[in-house]
Copies of this chain bind each other. A is one copy, B any other.
Amino acid sequence: MVSLGPGFPEYIIPRAQAALAEAQVVVGYQTYIDLVRPLLTTQEVVATGMKAEVKRCQLAMDRARAGQRVALVSSGDAGIYGMAGLVLEMGAAQGLKMGPPDREAEVDFHLEVIPGVPALAAGAALLGAPLMHDFVAISLSDLLTPWETIEKRLELAAQGDFVIVLYNPKSKKRDWQLGAVQDLLLRQKDPGTPVGIVSRAMRPGQTIINTTLDRLTQNPVDMQTIVVVGNSQTYTYGPYMITPRGYLAKYRGQGLGVRG
């Protein structure tokens, strides 16, 4: 299970690069396989289309059970709305024994989950430092989660003054959710709350937008976008979105000044 980070290959950790290099078979969604192809040599490549997640996982598991070294790739971090959970879910549903490669125990296949730079960290880095305080990650995809659950979570996140990271804000078939989120958040938060929108972080076509909550839906978003809505303390300074951690207030309160 290999995480590719946001914008390969400069953002893929060496452990993941080694796993790709050592793999006999590389399995993944076509778009990401294309981006990672410069790193591949003689590996067999199995690329599948969108919405073929279950098929892709099954294929990777079958190959691994047959004794091949398989790299199943996932963009960002495989463990955050990625493919790592599906492999484990399917393995569990099929009663398979899985375990980390460093243990001797008898298993149907060994599994290493190699983490990566998640989209929320890549996006935050391009925006400045919006995630310096407590935050929530919420996916707006209601294909697998009832919309009422998503709405409830957004309400609670606003009540708690969390920074809010929205994954999957929009797709071709889902175009109304982000407007609904804006309406919901505007009932609880200041219209001028800073909002950052990052698409295709660290890869071709990257865009970074600084806006405010009342203007959120005037900006282009798609499935390769994350949206970061600030908390009540978040501010912008030059090109940066900043959520203060509280150090400066603390040091000022102690009369130590900014220079500490």
Contacts and interface: CB of A to CB of B under 8 A. Distances in A.
Interface of A: 3, 5-6, 9-15, 18, 52-55, 58, 77-82, 84-94, 97-100, 113-118, 121-122, 124-126, 128-139, 143-145, 149-150, 152-153, 156-157, 159-162, 235, 237-240, 242-251, 256, 258-260
Contacts of A77: 117, 121, 124-125
A81 B132 contact: yes
B238 A79 contact: no
B54 A124 contact: no
A258 B53 CA distance: 11
A13 B117 contact: yes
16 contacts: A3-B125, A11-B14, A11-B15, A53-B247, A54-B260, A58-B258, A80-B121, A81-B245, A84-B125, A93-B248, A93-B258, A99-B238, A115-B122, A144-B246, A144-B249, A152-B160
The listed residue with most B CB atoms (<10 A of its CB), out of A18, A52, A238, is A238
B247 A144 contact: yes
A55 B256 CA distance: 11
The listed residue with most B CB atoms (<10 A of its CB), out of A136, A162, A259, is A136
A246 B135 CA distance: 23
A84 B129 contact: yes
Nearest to A167: B134
Shortest 8 CB-CB distances between A and B: which pairs?
A: A54-B260, A144-B246, A85-B132, A85-B129, A115-B125, A92-B237, A113-B125, A156-B160
